[in-house]
Amino acid sequence: MKFIDTHIHLQDYKLISAPQIIAAARECGVNGFVCISAKEDDWAKVLELSTQYPEVVPALGLHPWHVRQATPAWAEKLEALLLQNPRAQIGEAGLDRIKDGELLPQAEAFEIQIQLAKKYNRVLLIHAVKAAEWLPRFWPLLKGVRFVFHSFSGAKDLIKPIVENSGYVSFSQSILRMKNVAEIVCAVPQNCLLLETDGPYQSLEKGTESSPCFLPELLTKLAEYRHEDTEKLAAKVYQNSKDLFYGK
């Protein structure tokens, strides 16, 4: 089975280096990574990793947690880098009501990144936490944008608008903590399904960094919940990731 980790912050590993993570992941069948940035400081690091490793697809963006600290020209800088780097996708961007209860300025930053995704036809990697109330105004804007709700562990009701708007749902190991994991996992059609670790974050074991080597186990668990053949589901999820991030 082959895997692509569609959301990993390779530049943020502390206990192990990015080259070590990539080498270990290869041994586990993970041969692609979408390396995600959260803030401006990450952009150069993510681009460097993607130059060093052709299997690393860079994603440049501004996470809702970092919007208030961004420099005034962040959006222009981001646009210039997107133009220079045709493989770069956008993210992570989005909305987080736990970290910041105010819709602005998060919404503005999110909207800018939606527009950039539309203008340059890049995939938009979305972080949405407790944002269900804020999302309805964004669905019309997301029309025609290829987007992913990353590390999905929201309400089952949210899956319907994502799928109806041709979006993707990406699961990390954190879905396994949900009480209604089976219900959520079964609600996502195969052709919208992606996998990720959000590494080094969201490890199931305290004090450790999550590893792409968990993806085979995660896929196996999802296949069990969905009553589907593990190899076939793995092949489909791999193909979804490949088509979306590496071109058909």
Which residue ranges make up the site for Zn ion (CB under 5 A)?
198
Residue with tokens 């895997």: 3
Q: How far is the CB of 21 from Zn ion (least distance, A)?
A: 15
Q: Which two tokens stand for residue 225?
A: 């919940």
State how far the Cα of 116 lies from the Cα of 122, in Å rounded to an integer: 8
Burial class (CB within 10 angstroms; exposed 0-12, middle 13-18, buried 19+) of 31: middle
State how far the Cα of 228 lies from the Cα of 222, in Å rounded to an integer: 8
State how far the Cα of 222 lies from the Cα of 186, in Å rounded to an integer: 8
Q: How far is the CB of 125 from Zn ion (least distance, A)?
A: 8
Q: How far is the CB of 140 from Zn ion (least distance, A)?
A: 25
Nearer Cβ to Zn ion, position 59 or 158?
Answer: 59
Nearer Cβ to Zn ion, position 40 or 198?
Answer: 198
Nearer Cβ to Zn ion, position 37 or 240?
Answer: 37
Which residue has its beta carbon closest to Zn ion?
198
Nearer Cβ to Zn ion, position 63 or 146?
Answer: 63
Q: Please list the residues that pair with 129 across neighbouring strands.
A: 96
Residue type, 114: I
Q: How far is the CB of 144 from Zn ion (least distance, A)?
A: 24
State how far the Cα of 232 lies from the Cα of 210, in Å rounded to an integer: 25
Residue with tokens 């979006």: 167
Q: How far is the CB of 108 from Zn ion (least distance, A)?
A: 21
Nearer Cβ to Zn ion, position 127 or 233?
Answer: 127
